[in-house]
Structure 1
């Protein structure tokens, strides 16, 4: 009985006081409220280990962070073109001992605003005014194909969009495929309810856009097919990006190779972390 009282007395005296021991990484204390153990690590000059989880916005920052903090145990995981996420676990398990995995940097390959603009409107049918407005808003992304000067330039597409916007009462009669790969639309324009002048408007079969799919990533030349339908004398126009999924896959592979080449001896695994 006396011994039990002595143990209880010692426990009461220890309440709220730091307890240090050779086997503890940091002092602990018995807190009277609920008699819980509370770490006093925050009172030390420095933490006992790094506990940090952050998300970087470009591949260069990811590479720089990994190279700054990497140890012999650091590992990088990526989950393929679908997930497009790179995770660097700085304090990953060493073959000789487990680790806490509390220090992690993540790069999720965020897409650019420009890619989002074109992808959102992909295969979306528009009237003349809507299509013209879209082209004008995004004309800076249109480019010549690097190996084919016959493709329409940004100025060409801008002129087409402005022409379509200006001629809202055009009745299109037919579409004819020309030898040069373009489509020629013949139309009649009525002015003041009278038979008007006949004219021709040439629309390209295909055009190209230069985009960075990922923020801070490489630029890719993406082909877009030009499509149209004549319905009740009105023209619907839209574009179809050619295999945008392959563009994202190529962009992901470019980022993966860039990271792999720059993180020195840190291993990279295709896996979900």
Structure 2
């Protein structure tokens, strides 16, 4: 093995340092998009070319370059007020999701400008949202829809929600009127349902005999009871009742919904339930009314569907 001359050692060290420096040399450069001339800063190193994250400059700014983020409101009024505060008439738009499970409104403040105003695109990063909250009445009636209940439970439910029962009992739409006529419907009043609920509580543990009047749509339950206060008179069961409730929380608008009253014999006695008829129609009307209110009070275009991601 040959020895290195001490006189040459310094030169070898300098060469090694220079080589290492070349390997670790990092520079920044500007590159330009050939389509529109947009400038980007990139970092060039022996490992390749990497774009510099623009967010690295944000903490040095005195003010943000643009508004970003999504404000989420719990009342329609606040959603409208916020939209009016930040809207740009030629570059903002409202989008409505009409799915009952996830109904909401979204304002995109920095949406694309119209073609008439130059058609400039935007980042779509400044938004407001309003997720429609259903009313307590809607949640209560929907929560028990088509759910069989024991006599005592059904009676308790009717008494708890009796203020929602419509005393008028007159369908508000031609479709509902046609449905009532088609099934030869017999409408129950609130007092009739209270009578029914109390009767069910009295005869809760009784032996049941059932009959149904096909001409009137009424069912008739006769109980052979061991209760000392039971007189054995039949309970006439109507097959329809109507509720009047708001669809959305804090809404002044109430809607009439038909409910079919159903029951059947079961090993443990009688079970009752109801079936709401076309509740989706009430939702659609309430949703459409809210959308119309937003259009009128903001002056912005409203599209039913989802915007670009």
TM range (shorter): 0.7 to 0.9
What is aligned with 1:58?
Answer: 75
What is aligned with 1:92?
Answer: 111
What is aligned with 1:268?
Answer: 302
Q: After TM superposition, give the deviation of residue 57 of structure 1 in Å.
A: 2.0
CA offsets 1:177-234 (integer angstroms, 9 cap, x no match): 2765533322222247xxx742121222211111212223321111101011124582
Single out whichever of 121-130 and 161-170 deviates more from structure 2: 161-170
What is aligned with 1:183?
Answer: 219
What is aligned with 1:204?
Answer: 238
Residue 270 (structure 2) pairs with residue 251 (structure 1)? no
Q: After TM superposition, give the deviation of residue 272 of structure 1 in Å.
A: 1.0
Q: After TM superposition, give the deviation of residue 159 of structure 1 in Å.
A: 3.3
1:11-50 counterparts in 2 under 5 A?
38-40=56-58, 44=62, 46-50=63-67
What is aligned with 2:270?
Answer: 235
Residue 143 (structure 2) pairs with residue 108 (structure 1)? no
1:127-142 counterparts in 2 under 5 A?
127-142=150-165
CA offsets 1:69-110 (integer angstroms, 9 cap, x no match): 211211111233455221100111224322222210112212
The TM-score, its normalising length taken from structure 2, stands at 0.67
- Paired residues, what number? 241
What is aligned with 1:32?
Answer: none
What is the rounded CA distance, in whole Å, between the counterparts of 2:73 and 2:126 in structure 1?
14
Decide whether aligned partners of structure 1 residues 146 and 231 sit closer, same or farther in structure 2, where only a CA change above 3 A counts.
Answer: closer
How large is the Cα RMSD of the aligned pairs? Answer: 3.3
Q: 5+ residue gaps in structure 1? A: 12-22, 25-34
Q: Which runs of 4+ in 1 moved over 6 A?
A: none
Kept in 2: contact 1:81–1:249 (CA 8 A): no
What is aligned with 1:174?
Answer: 210
Q: After TM superposition, give the deviation of residue 60 of structure 1 in Å.
A: 2.3
Three-state SS of the structure 2 residue aligned to 1:100 is coil
